[in-house]
Amino acid sequence: MNRRHAIGGLVAAAAAVPLLKGQGNEVTDWVGWWERSKKYTMAIAEAMPADKYDYVPFKNGEGDAGRSFGALMQHIGQAEGFYLGRLGKGGPAPQAPTLPGATATKGKGAPADLSKAATVKYLNDLMDWSISVVKQLEPADMTKQFGNGKQAMTGLSLLLNAMVHTGHTRGYSDMYLRNNNVKPPTYAV
């Protein structure tokens, strides 16, 4: 056997050991990030007084600033359900709550229950579902394509889109809280 080949093989094997040992750690990391995200999101939802869940900072605003606080917080859950639901793990995401006895109207779903109690319960259930989905991921899911055509995304892209959307939308909640003289919770790294 050629010594160069033998030494080269040993070097390659030594370099591969850390990669093999770390295999799967990215899923563990994502689970941890989702658990922290849930804790922070729930702290924000709990911080707003129940009578302020209908607060809208810009009455005729567009996008997130035109939503009530309850609608903003439920939008976080709906988007997470959309992105993580595409991974095909954990069954369907919990659905946003509707008003008791409400029925869907033509072209629209039933009116949402945007109360603090309904929103906190929904977010808690949704975030638990999200964490369970992320826990089911395999390292191969990170590079696997989900969806077709323009909608195709890798598992990593779906996770990143969900997390970035949550962070971005949750950022608006500081404004909602501060406008109501509520000190926003601090994110624990």
β-bridge mates for residue 153, sequence order: 146
Q: What is the pLDDT of residues 52-102, one digit of tens each?
A: 999 998 877 666 668 899 999 999 999 999 999 999 998 999 999 888 877
More confident residue, 20 or 85: 85
Contacts (Cβ under 8 Å, ≥6 apart) of 144: 154, 155
Whether the predicted pLDDT of 186 surpasses 70: yes
Q: What is the mean pLDDT of residues 108-118?
A: 86
User: Looking at residue 22, what is its pLDDT?
Assistant: 47
Looking at this protein, which amino acid is placed at residue 37? S
Contacts (Cβ under 8 Å, ≥6 apart) of 62: none
pLDDT band (50, 70, 90) for residue 11? very low
Helices 116-135, 69-85: axis angle to 10 degrees equals 20
Residue whose token pair is 């093989």: 9
Q: % helix / strand / coil in the chain, to the nearest 5?
A: 65, 5, 35
Whether the predicted pLDDT of 1 surpasses 70: no
Work out the angle at residue 77's Cα, subtended by the Cα atoms of residues 72 and 83, and round it to the nearest 5 degrees: 125
Q: What is the largest CA-CA distance in the chain?
A: 80
CATH fit for domain 25-179, picks 3.40.50.970, 3.30.9.10, 1.20.120.450, 3.50.50.60:
1.20.120.450
User: Looking at residue 107, what is its pLDDT?
Assistant: 62
Work out the angle at residue 66's Cα, subtended by the Cα atoms of residues 60 and 70, and round it to the nearest 5 degrees: 140
User: Which tokens sit at 97?
Assistant: 């709550």
Q: What is the pLDDT of residues 131-180, one digit of tens each?
A: 999 999 999 999 999 988 888 999 999 999 999 999 999 999 999 999 99
User: Looking at residue 148, what is its pLDDT?
Assistant: 87
**Domain edges within the chain:** 25-179
